Amino acid sequence: MEREEILKSLNVIFQEVLKNTGLQLDETMSANDVDGWDSLSNMTIVSEVERRWNFRFKLHDIVKMRNIGDMIDCIIKRSK
């Protein structure tokens, strides 16, 4: 699975959860960079990512995620 493909899928998830169709993510973006990405929406985003790729994040994975790039790294790791 390629990073670009994952980023495109994440973009769709974030747009739907945050109700922002104009949102365009990049790997350096964090919750500080995205309006509406707070602790509550993060739980929904994590749930949607788990559903999309059919796995469960471990707590330490979620805690270590600081930006979109970290999330992509975790998805790649968990999808193997």
Which tens digits make up the pLDDT trace of 20-78?
999 999 999 999 999 999 999 999 999 999 999 999 999 999 999 999 999 999 999 98
In this prediction, residue 79 carries a pLDDT of 85
Q: Is 14 exposed, middle or buried (0-12, 13-18, 19+ CB in 10 A)?
A: buried
Tokens of 59: 């707590």
Q: Which of 40, 52, 43 is nearest to 13 (CA)?
A: 52
The amino acid at residue 71 is: M
